[in-house]
Amino acid sequence: MNSFILITGALGGLGSALVRECAQHGYDLYLTDQMEDTQHFAAQIATQHHVEVRYRPCDLTSADERTQLINSFTAEGCRFCGLFNVAGRDYEGGFLDKSRSQILFLVQLIVEASVDLTHSILNLRDPDRRFLLVYISSLAAFFPMPYKATYASSKRFLLDFSCALREEIKDFGNVLVLAPAGLPTTQESIDKMQTQGIWGKLTMMDTQKVAQQTIERVLRGESVYVPGFFSQLLTRLGKILPDRWVTQFIAGRWRKSQRDVALLRQDRNCGIVKTKR
């Protein structure tokens, strides 16, 4: 019987990079994402790397859909040697500027779904193989962050949860939390990093390289991976500086960034208009 690594958010930039890295290491994979049309990607990975790849779509914020997904694992007789909790989302902006559904969506996806899947998949683990458990946190987890309060706090939960669980399952599993800063996975993320100037350049990392290092580090049994020297420096500064200073600085940077993003989009739209003329 094959044992799989389950990867959530498998079609995103970081998710698909981790899929490729796991396949290169010879792991059979079970992929899930909210999007339906992914059989081509799954088949491509299976053909290229000669591994078994299964796919099932799931909205992880829905308890009913998560239950159906977990029940399908049992019905298929699946066993797992790993879980990579990659699925995530961010809504930047003031807490009161976001709707109730947006706020709850973040908590359900980052916290509730991660805990639910972790408990279920660990109970379906292959007892004959070392279990690999990876959480995708964020550099934001190390700081109280105005205008990203729910996101940063949820990612902080994953950081603390993974460190605690690491001790509980150390006899049969490795637990790693990945906490990246900027990853150029979407046009929106690229725009934000560009408007941050030197800060964005110093913290931006290559997605495939981060994925490669993530696999290597979880296999070695490391606990926390913050990609990039500058990001690591920021985490150390965050531990010694007063929270009030940190939050004031972050708030100021965010306000400036939003103004710069708006100007960038305005210039891009003007360029599009001129081209059409």
What value does the mean pLDDT of the chain take?
87
**Apex 15 CA angle, 25 and 159, nearest 5:** 100
Q: Which residue has the higher pLDDT, 136 or 193?
A: 136
Percent of the chain with pLDDT over 70: 84
- Beta-carbon contacts of 73 under 8 Å, excluding residues fewer than 6 positions away, are 30, 80, 120, 121, 124
**Predicted local distance difference test score (pLDDT) of residue 1:** 64
pLDDT digits (tens, 9 = 90+) for 75-125: 999 999 999 999 988 878 889 999 999 999 999 999 999 999 999 999 999
pTM: 0.84
Q: In this structure, which amino acid lies at residue 245?
A: W
CA–CA separation, 131 vs 234, rounded Å? 31
Q: Using CA atoms in the order 265, 266, 268, 270, what is the torsion angle rounded to 10 degrees?
A: 160
Q: For the chain, list the domains and their CATH numbers.
A: 3-276 (3.40.50.720)
Mean of the pLDDT values across residues 198-212? 72
pLDDT one-digit tens code per residue, 219-265: 999 999 999 888 888 888 878 888 888 788 887 777 777 777 667 66
The pLDDT, as a whole number, for residue 106 is: 95
